[in-house]
Amino acid sequence: MGTWSSSLYGNDTTLDVKGAYISFLEEQLSNEEAYEKLLDMGGVIGTDEEPLFWYALAETQWKYGRLMPEVKEKALGWIDKKGGLDSWLENEGKGTGWLKTLDKLKQKLESPMPKEKKVVKIDKNPWNLNDIYAYQFHKKYAKENDLFGKYMLIQKIGEEQIWENTGYTTIMSVHIYDEIFDKLPTLDDMAGLRILPLDFASATIYRGKKSSIKMRGCIFNYKPSHYPEKYLTFIGNMQGLLNFSEDSSLFWDVIEREFHQYYQNWQGVEYDTLGEGVYVAPNLTS
């Protein structure tokens, strides 16, 4: 088990249990079915990590308004026995932080539970291959950086499989075009545009080298509210540039800041786009 803090989710086990339970709810399993499926997965039941299983499940069920009496009983029983403390006894604090975590968890589980939350499955791959959308800047960051109401172009160029909690999830791999538009662009406005590198190291690591640059990004959204459907306009579908460079990671909830930082970083920097990768052009040679 990987552990990095004494907080409830400062270890791999509790994070995995929480993530798996939420994933089962997203699959529209009932609370009881999600619980049984977690038990069927086995793994930590009967081991030193069993208390962590019940802590994470109880806290997550409580948060989603679905805490089962037997799960609450198991978690409180382990709290009374200070379950999980042994792994902290050799630390300088002798588990003081972990005991505080357990005390907070006990108070939460014994307090009134929130209303049951509806869980919606998040579609992390909503576009067709080669779809192009215009994204309109609309957040606080855009107002602070003279971007509000302007547009950028994003194109889906592929799909990636990533492991999340209970199985593989398909997410989109995208290109972003190196242009900010004052009004809604069309396919004709894309003529001659280059792909924006999704890489921050343009003028340092790559100076004087013919090194590969990250030109494509896997784009993530972890909450339904992260996907900005209201601010996306379908522009069209056409074959995108084939690109086999390494992926960067993009996130819908901070896409405005990420795009602007990449955009500023690469203005005035030339590079060559090749069939199997992207390389910095000679103008950076020292």
Checking if the pLDDT of 28 tops 50, the result is yes
Residue 227: count other Cβ atoms within 10 Å of its Cβ.
Answer: 17
Q: Which of 202, 268, 191 is nearest to 236 (CA)?
A: 191
pLDDT at position 32 over 90? yes
Q: Which tops the pLDDT comparison, 221 or 67?
A: 67
Tell whether the model's pLDDT for residue 188 goes beyond 70. yes
Q: Are 83 and 50 a contacting pair, CB within 8 Å?
A: yes
Contacts of 227-233 with CB under 8 Å at 24 or more apart are 227/122, 227/123, 227/126, 227/252, 228/135, 228/138, 228/252, 228/255, 231/135, 231/136, 231/138, 232/133, 232/134, 232/135, 232/136, 233/133, 233/134, 233/136, 233/184
The 10s digit of each residue's pLDDT in 201-237 is: 544 444 445 566 788 899 988 777 889 999 999 999 9
230 neighbors 133 (Cβ within 8 angstroms)? no
Q: Which two tokens stand for residue 194?
A: 């280059």
Amino acid at the residue 94 = K
Q: Which strands make up the sheet holding 131-136, listed edge to edge? A: 232-237, 131-136, 151-164, 167-176, 216-220, 247-251
Q: Where in the chain are the domains?
A: 12-109, 131-284
Closest CA to 43 of 56, 27, 28: 56
pLDDT at 167: 62
Report pLDDT for 284.
40
> How far is residue 167's CA from residue 36's CA, in Å, rounded to a whole number?
17
Q: Quick check: 81 and 106 in contact, CB under 8 A?
A: no
Return the amino acid letter for 193: L
Weakest-pLDDT range from 180-184, 207-211, 254-258: 207-211
B/e letters for 189-208, b = 16+ CB within 10 Å, e = fewer, are: bbeeeebbbbbeebeeebee
Helix (H) or strand (E) holding 167: strand 167-176
pLDDT band for 114, please (50, 70, 90 cuts).
very high
11 neighbors 2 (Cβ within 8 angstroms): yes
Q: What angle do CA 23, 28, 33 make, to 5 degrees?
A: 80
| Confidence at residue 286, expressed as pLDDT on a 0 to 100 scale | 36
72: its two tokens: 């609450």
The pTM (predicted TM-score) of the whole model is 0.65
Pairwise CA distance, residues 22 & 166, whole Å = 10
- What is the C-alpha to C-alpha distance for residues 180 and 147, in angstroms, rounded to an integer? 8
Q: Please identify which residue in the block is written with the tokens 């996907």.
A: 227
> Which residues neighbour 177 within 8 Å (Cβ) at sequence distance 6 or greater?
152, 153, 154, 155, 190, 193, 194, 195, 196
The two three-digit tokens of residue 74, written as one number:
């198991």
By DSSP bridging, strand 277-280 and strand 232-237 are unpaired
